[in-house]
Amino acid sequence: MTTSRIFRIGGELEVHRLGFGSMRLTGRGIWGPPEDPAECRTVLRRAVELGVDLIDTADSYGPYVAEELIGDTLGDRDDVVIATKAGLTRVAPDIGLGPAAWPPVGRPEYLRQECEMSLRRLRRDVIDLWQLHRIDPNVPAEDQFGVLRDMQSEGKVRFVGLSQVSVPQIEAARKIVQIVSVQNRYHLGDRASEEVLRYCEAHDIAFLPWAPLAQGRLSAEGPLATIAQERGEAVGTIALAWLLAHSENLLPIPGTSRVAHLEQNMRAANIELTPVEMAAIEEGIQ
């Protein structure tokens, strides 16, 4: 089974499909600075050395910590596509709180403010891909989509995306602004967004699955583990290879704060799963 390792976001931004997610470049509970900032900077530099040219982040990671690390480390690299997000705020470390630690705020003036601040932290003149982290149910959706359109027309952002949305929400947004990416939770153990993925395939929209490794909770048993053992790879590496083979619109963004884990994840880019292996994995997750 051979799949393309390249995707053109918006038909223009050519990136390798295995990217890097920066959420783990923060402290415990995705709050505050990381324990080892120097290692995190090394991770970012090593990711680029290994061929990563798509890095995903958000203003709420830290908050602000991940964006600042990326800006300090890679702010002068015009060969790396930076995708960031705004629309979720932070009130506490995410330690057992879940969504309660990430209240959505979609007021247009707030989204505009966060875009301006992200430009400053990332040390960019324009944000390659700016994504609405969540649609705020307390603000008219068309107002949120409208400010995305306005910031794009003003040249602050090049392309626009959405996060954790349904097909009807994508269609509503596309009536107001071009949508080139969707970022929903998706991994071997959670394929609730399969309909969204098929919609993205039909409309040439990039799908960036967040939590592609289920925060490390993928089963160490069954066909996935067997294939990993046979190939001498980690279960997570094979899970990423499955995502790359499952759909050419999937752009996984696994994250880590350790170089060894990064290198383990990146091996997935060179793994071609056979049809027999894909069938076994599919059967094992039914």
C-alpha separations of 88 from 26, 64, 258 in Å: 16, 12, 26
208-236 average pLDDT score: 86
- Sorting pLDDT into bands at 50, 70 and 90, what band is 1? very low
At 54-107, the pLDDT tens digits run: 999 999 999 999 999 999 999 999 999 999 999 999 999 999 899 999 999 999
At 175-219, the pLDDT tens digits run: 999 999 999 999 988 999 999 999 999 999 999 999 998 866 676
- Classify strands 6-9 and 13-16 as parallel, antiparallel or unpaired: antiparallel
Interacting residues of 33 by C-beta distance below 8 A, sequence separation 6+: 26, 27, 62, 65
C-alpha–C-alpha distance, residues 145 and 139, integer Å: 11
Interacting residues of 225 by C-beta distance below 8 A, sequence separation 6+: 219, 235
Q: From start to end of the chain, where are the E strands?
A: 6-9, 13-16, 20-21, 54-56, 81-86, 127-132, 157-163, 181-183, 206-207
* Ramachandran angles phi, psi of 55, nearest 5°: -120, 125
Give catalytic residues, as residue numbers: 61
Interacting residues of 132 by C-beta distance below 8 A, sequence separation 6+: 85, 86, 87, 106, 111, 144, 145, 148, 160, 161, 162, 163
pLDDT at site 220? 66
Structure tokens at 218: 């993928």
Asked whether the whole model's pTM tops 0.85, one would answer yes
For 140, half-sphere exposure in the C-beta direction (CA atoms, 13 angstrom radius) is 5
What is the three-state SS of 248-259?
A: CCECCCCCCCCH
pLDDT exceeds cutoff 60 at 171: yes
C-alpha–C-alpha distance, residues 274 and 2, integer Å: 9
